[in-house]
Amino acid sequence: MERLVVIGAGISGLATAFLARLGAAATGRPLSVTVLEAEARAGGKMWSDRSDGFVIEHGPNGFLDNKPDTLDLVKDLGASEKLLPASELARKRFVCRRGRLERLPESPPAFLKSRILTWKGKIRVLGEPFAKPAPQGDESVAAFAARRLGPEARDYLIDPMVSGIYAGDPGNLSLRAAFPRINELETQYGGLFKAMRGISRERKKAGQKGPTGAGPGGTLTSFKSGVQSLIDRLQQELGSNLILGARAVGLERGTSGYEVRADQGDGQETRHGADAVVLSCPAWVAGELLGDHDATLAEDLNQVFYAPVTVLATAFATQDLGEEPDGFGFLVPHVEDRPILGTLWDSSVFPDRAPDGQVLLRTMIGGARRPELARLDDEVLTRTVLDQLKDLMGIRATPTRVRVIRYDRGIPQYALGHPERVNRIDRALGTLPGLFLCHNAYHGIALNDCAREARKTAGRVLDYLQPDSAVEE
Ligand SMILES: Cc1cc2nc3c(=O)[nH]c(=O)nc-3n(C[C@H](O)[C@H](O)[C@H](O)COP(=O)(O)OP(=O)(O)OC[C@H]3O[C@@H](n4cnc5c(N)ncnc54)[C@H](O)[C@@H]3O)c2cc1C
């Protein structure tokens, strides 16, 4: 029987293992799958802490349903009944400008009325069709935004979006890698407004209705009892094939295929023979494991920088708040010079995240531009966040609960040069048959990206192991 070992049980690794097994079963050929996870729990960044009626997300709070990838995975798991769409309030998003929370406009008339940009800034946005064409090579998100939309929209519209997704520095992130869809729209249609018009014409022709797909679009979707419900379901499917507390520490070529050595924490080392290995661990771990196979590849993997980010969850008694937050939350542009990236109003978007009479918020702090803030000690961090909530939301109450969630290497940054780096990584892997990478460090950080890459990787693994009976990607 062919053997697949997956290293890392975040969503990327678990989904790859599950889909590879599903694909193999569909072709009637047996496949032994083992998933090794360093920590005592599966899920990686996807972790919902459930206690006293609260569901505190440690990482993601959902995915957008305008892409099929996570939904398809959920369907394959037979878990669609666990899906939980966000309340309509999720459409209400705010950005801080001069210390006030301004609602992000959702329509052209609302844009013209909104106070997010000055008239000068709005007129510059309207000049987008006349922007200079894209330069050759990789362009940063900030340079793209300034070129097409102007400096004010860069600072108050694009910068906070980058903070909200990557906790990143738009001046350093590659547009092609971090926002490939936006890059495609410019290449294909010659501009963003032209793209919106073009897409809506095409959709009309095809008889389709609904959002054009040029913006984020889709409905934020999660799971009853939190995103971990998806992890729980995958874990249930994999059963004893998932080994927790098993840190991969070595990857050697064996007489047939590979051998993965895992440290089980009690001085015990286990060995796992494999015909194919998927590295679904962070890039720097993959770099350590592949160092003996290809030093240049390892160096490229080690160069992927992860921004530190800390999440501070705070709960308040509803009666202690003047006004209950209603909306998705707010983001803080870097130019506002405040020590937080933004706050998600979790219980407004998913009411089951807090018990009756309580409100749950999650504030992000740190990121690529202010890494030192992510490392503040718990007390200073809490004080800093509460000061900001008081200033921006008028919250003066004492929280009923505070939880600090730290990621020293939280979110991979697709820096300028990332597309070339990933190409080099892919080429180098091509010379190491049977080895695959599937993790958020390469082709997208959203859950939809991880689910899409997991499906592709499972297909490639089966193509490699069982060339006559490959499943569709
Ligand atoms: C605060 C935060 C908020 C986010 N919010 C959203 C959101 O709302 N929507 C969205 O779509 N995305 C969001 N993301 C991004 C998304 O959560 C991640 O991209 C995704 O969960 C990454 O999954 P992964 O499996 O690729 O990696 P990880 O979750 O990092 O999993 C890697 C796994 O490998 C294990 N591992 C490491 N070393 C070893 C080893 N030597 N041996 C064995 N195992 C090892 C780790 O313990 C871990 O379990 C957020 C991320 C963060 C940090």
| CB distance 438 to 12 below 8 Å | yes
Which is more confident, 4 or 213? 4
Mean of the per-residue pLDDT values of the chain: 94
Distance between Cα 347 and ligand 1 center (Å) = 23
pLDDT surpasses 80 at 217: no
- For residue 201, the model assigns a pLDDT of 86
Protein residue whose Cα sits closest to atom 30 of ligand 1:
44
Give the number of the atom of ligand 1 that is nearest the alpha carbon of residue 311. 1
Taking residues 369-381, report their average pLDDT.
98
Could you identify the residue written with the tokens 């890459």?
453
Give the model confidence (pLDDT) of 142-183 as tens digits.
999 999 999 999 999 999 999 999 999 999 999 999 999 999
- 178 in ligand 1 pocket by Cβ < 6 Å? no
Protein residue whose Cα sits closest to atom 12 of ligand 1:
446
Identify which of 19, 35, 45, 260 to mutate to test ligand 1's pocket (most ligand atoms within 8 A of the CB).
45
Give the model confidence (pLDDT) of 85-133 as tens digits.
999 988 999 999 999 999 999 888 999 999 999 999 999 999 999 999 9
- For residue 202, the model assigns a pLDDT of 83
- For residue 323, the model assigns a pLDDT of 87
| CB distance 266 to 395 below 8 Å | no
Rounded Cα–Cα distance for residues 197 and 203 (Å): 10
- 56 in ligand 1 pocket by Cβ < 6 Å? no
pLDDT surpasses 80 at 470: no
2-46+229-304+415-469 and 117-214 share one fold: no
pLDDT surpasses 60 at 212: no
Give the number of the atom of ligand 1 that is nearest the alpha carbon of residue 249. 41
The band of 216, judged by pLDDT with boundaries at 50, 70 and 90, is: low
Tell me the pairing of strands 100-103 and 247-253: unpaired
Rounded Cα–Cα distance for residues 60 and 306 (Å): 16
Q: Tell me the β-bridge partners of 247.
A: 263
pLDDT surpasses 90 at 308: yes
Could you identify the residue written with the tokens 């009666």?
319
- For residue 53, the model assigns a pLDDT of 97
- For residue 392, the model assigns a pLDDT of 97
- 19 in ligand 1 pocket by Cβ < 6 Å? no
Architecture of the domain spanning 117-214: Orthogonal Bundle (1.10)
pLDDT surpasses 60 at 80: yes
The torsion angle over the Cα atoms of residues 225, 228, 234 and 240, rounded to 10 degrees, is -110
- 8 in ligand 1 pocket by Cβ < 6 Å? yes
Please give the C-alpha separations between residue 354 and each of 294, 317, 348, 389, in angstroms, as whole numbers.
Answer: 49, 10, 9, 18
SS (HEC) of the chain: CEEEEEECCEHHHHHHHHHHHHHHHHHCCCEEEEEECCCCCCECCCCEEEECCEEEECCCCCEECCCCHHHHHHHHCCCHHHEEECCHHHHCEEEEECCEEEECCCCHHHHHHCCCCCHHHHHHHHCHHHCCCCCCCCCEHHHHHHHHHCHHHHHHHHHHHHHHHHCCCCCCEEHHHHCHHHHHHHHHHCCHHHHHHHHHHHHHHCCCCCCCCCCCCCCEEEECCCCHHHHHHHHHHHHHHEECCCEEEEEEECCCCEEEEEECCCCCEEEEEECEEEECCCHHHHHHHHCCCCHHHHHHHHCCCEEEEEEEEEEEEHHHCCCCCCCCEEECCHHHCCCCCEEECHHHHCHHHCCCCEEEEEEEEECCCCHHHHCCCHHHHHHHHHHHHHHHHCCCCCCCEEEEEEEEEEEECCECCHHHHHHHHHHHHHCCCCEEECCCCCCCCCHHHHHHHHHHHHHHHHHHHCHHHCCCC
Give the model confidence (pLDDT) of 37-46 as tens digits.
999 999 999 9
The band of 210, judged by pLDDT with boundaries at 50, 70 and 90, is: low
Distance between Cα 129 and ligand 1 center (Å) = 38
- For residue 52, the model assigns a pLDDT of 96
Distance between Cα 415 and ligand 1 center (Å) = 18
- Rg over CA atoms, the chain: 23
pLDDT surpasses 50 at 214: no
The percentage of residues in the chain with a pLDDT greater than 90, rounded to a whole number, is 88
- For residue 215, the model assigns a pLDDT of 43
- Residue 325 half-sphere exposure toward CB, CA atoms < 13 A: 33
pLDDT surpasses 90 at 29: no
The band of 266, judged by pLDDT with boundaries at 50, 70 and 90, is: confident
Amino acid at the residue 83: L
pLDDT surpasses 80 at 6: yes
Protein residue whose Cα sits closest to atom 48 of ligand 1:
44
Give the number of the atom of ligand 1 that is nearest the alpha carbon of residue 247. 42
Identify which of 36, 84, 281, 345 to mutate to test ligand 1's pocket (most ligand atoms within 8 A of the CB).
281
pLDDT surpasses 70 at 73: yes
Q: Tell me the β-bridge partners of 84.
A: 222
The CATH number of 2-46+229-304+415-469 is which of 3.40.50.10420, 2.40.10.10, 3.50.50.60, 1.10.3470.10? 3.50.50.60
8-state DSSP, 52: T
- For residue 204, the model assigns a pLDDT of 81
- 321 in ligand 1 pocket by Cβ < 6 Å? no
Please give the C-alpha separations between residue 207 and each of 200, 202, 214, 416, in angstroms, as whole numbers.
Answer: 10, 9, 17, 39
- For residue 209, the model assigns a pLDDT of 61
The band of 200, judged by pLDDT with boundaries at 50, 70 and 90, is: confident
pLDDT surpasses 60 at 25: yes
Amino acid at the residue 220: L
Please give the C-alpha separations between residue 199 and each of 193, 205, 252, in angstroms, as whole numbers.
Answer: 10, 10, 49
Give the model confidence (pLDDT) of 317-372 as tens digits.
999 998 899 999 999 999 999 999 999 999 999 999 999 999 999 999 999 999 99
CATH class of the domain comprising 306-412: alpha beta
Taking residues 278-285, report their average pLDDT.
98
Domain residue ranges of the chain, discontinuous segments joined by + = 2-46+229-304+415-469, 117-214, 306-412
pLDDT surpasses 90 at 55: yes
Task: Give the residue among 87, 161, 214 at the shortest CA–CA distance from 331.
Answer: 161
Give the number of the atom of ligand 1 that is nearest the alpha carbon of residue 12. 25
| CB distance 396 to 317 below 8 Å | no
Protein residue whose Cα sits closest to atom 38 of ligand 1:
281
Rounded Cα–Cα distance for residues 149 and 123 (Å): 9
